[in-house]
Amino acid sequence: MVGWPTIARLCLVNMAIGGLAALPVNLFNRLMTVELSLPALLPGLLVALHYGVQLTRPVWGHRSDARGGRTPLILGGIVVTGLSIVIAAYAILVASTAPGMALLLWIGAYAALGLGIGAAGTSFLALLATVTSGRGKGGAATTAWLFLIAGAIIASIGTGIALEPYSPERLVAVVAVVAAIAVLLCIIATVGVERKLGHAPAPEHTALGPALRATWADPAARRFTGFVFLSIFAFYLSELIFEPFAGHVHGLSPEESTKLSGGKDGAALLGMILAGILSSLRIGTLRMWAVAGCLISAAGLLALGAQMSLIASSVTLGLGNGLFVVGAVGSMMVLSSEREGSTGVRMGVFGAAQAIAAGLAGLIATGMLDLIRMILPDATAYATVFTLEAALFCAAAFVALRILGQSPASPPILQPGE
């Protein structure tokens, strides 16, 4: 086990992943939909491709278990992720003059993005679960996701400021700098961490098939995988349409909508900090944060659909998202590390469920939006999707009450920083 300074340094990996992942989901999606006037379904399909490729997460997790080394997968994955982001930005530059070439570049870039994030993200979470003690896992999960949201905030707001005035050429240059910073952060984060662990535990199963079957045979893991799918489906349903909503309905510029997205992520960061402080005072459990987060997120979505204050509604949605993450990911960290030698493959199974849900959510949200906008005003079309998402969050809250309360994944108290 390692100390909290090392854990905090390791979480720079999640900051890098969060910063890179925020760009295609938020900024690139908005530029394709608004500036390039492309159907919202196109970025939806591309993001679905990127999540679909992340079905390889169990493979990466099992490989890191079997080989006993997660750092090479983290660094290799983040390099692939950074390169794919730069290529996707370059495709936006050439889209107006060579749309066919842009489409081919986007397909390749988003597929590589899925591979990179799958390899780096799964290996990072497995390493984090390995280096922390039993009661420290909740705090480690909170720290990791604080860094993830912080990375998304810094990348969103920083990129929005650096893009003024916006031009496709400026976009490519800014994204290249963001990618380089992300790779540097991961190098700093992982240097010497695995050496402190000594000999890695032998994998529970040396072949992938038996490892997957053993994970699925665990009732707690099976139930939690179902909760991950439902809750993440709700979580990501508005992800691809939030910035286009700000542009189509409220008339915000790319710089303004990117900053609004960063503000929403800032509210999520505040929610996680709030949950951490209350937990340190012995107030709240992982199940409570998951349920409260789902319900508050639903309230924010209904407010967005009802054309209430854009900033207040976005902050409410972000706050709920932050509380939800603490409950769900804290549970995931504990459950994935219950069996020594299978941490990676368990994290990979949960990650694959998350990827399927996120990909389907983006595809369904953008497809619905395109269809509804053909017959109804923009504001009504977006409100319909937001209302559906709010209903799914309420359903996820109900499931959390039943599943997380019965699962050994729920420790009594989440103690950040202990």
pLDDT value of residue 148: 85
Angle in degrees, CA 114, 118, 124, rounded to 5: 145
Radius of gyration of the chain (CA): 20
Structure-token pair, residue 239:
């992800």
**What separation, in Å, do the N-terminal and C-terminal C-alpha atoms of the chain show?**
13
Could you tell me if 32 and 109 are in contact, meaning their C-beta atoms sit under 8 angstroms apart?
A: no
Q: What pLDDT is attached to residue 302?
A: 95
Look at residue 338 in the predicted model and tell me its pLDDT: 60
Q: Does residue 202 sit in helix, strand or coil?
A: coil
Within a domain: residue 416?
no
Q: What is the structure's pLDDT at 200?
A: 53
- pLDDT score recorded for residue 166: 84
pLDDT score of 38: 87
**Rounded (5°) CA angle 23-24-30:** 90
Give me the pLDDT at residue 132, please: 75
Contact at 8 Å (CB) between 295 and 389?
no
Q: Would residue 418 count as lying in a domain?
A: no
pLDDT (tens place) for every residue of the chain, 418 residues total: 667 788 889 999 999 999 999 898 778 988 898 888 888 788 888 988 988 888 888 877 777 766 667 888 999 999 999 999 999 999 999 998 999 999 999 999 999 999 999 999 888 888 887 777 655 565 677 788 788 878 888 888 888 889 888 888 999 999 999 999 999 999 999 988 877 765 555 555 556 667 677 766 677 777 878 888 888 898 888 887 888 888 888 888 877 887 888 788 889 888 888 876 776 566 777 788 889 999 999 999 999 999 899 999 999 999 999 888 877 777 776 666 565 656 667 777 777 788 888 878 878 888 888 899 999 998 999 999 999 999 999 999 998 888 775 443 333 333 333 3
Q: Is pTM beyond 0.85 here?
A: no
Q: Which residues contact 309 (CB under 8 A, 6 or more apart)?
A: 303
In 11-135, alpha helices (H): 12-22, 29-30, 41-53, 57-67, 71-94, 99-131
- pLDDT score for 411: 39
Is 414 contained in some domain? no
SS3 content of the chain, % helix, strand, coil (to 5): 80, 0, 20
What's the burial of 144, exposed, middle or buried (CB within 10 Å: 0-12/13-18/19+)?
Answer: buried
Lookup: tokens for 359: 């990909």
Number of folded domains in the chain?
1
Could you tell me the CATH number of the domain that includes residue 212? 1.20.1250.20
Does residue 242 lie within any of the structural domains? yes
Domain presence at residue 292? yes
Q: How far apart are CA 259 and CA 154, in angstroms?
A: 10
Alpha carbons 218 and 209: distance in angstroms, whole number? 15
Q: How far apart are CA 93 and CA 103, in angstroms?
A: 12
- Domain annotation covers residue 417: no
Query: Rounded CA gap, 18 and 148, in Å?
Result: 5
Q: Which two tokens stand for residue 131?
A: 């280096």
In a domain, 18, yes or no: yes
d(CA 199, CA 206): 17
Segments forming the whole domain that contains residue 276: 4-406
Structure tokens at 25: 């989901």
Whether the CB-CB separation of 148 and 16 falls below 8 Å is answered with no
CA pair distance 397, 289, nearest whole angstrom: 10
Task: Return the pLDDT at 67.
Answer: 64
Determine the pLDDT at residue 342: 62
Residue 139 lies in a domain: yes
pLDDT of residue 407: 40
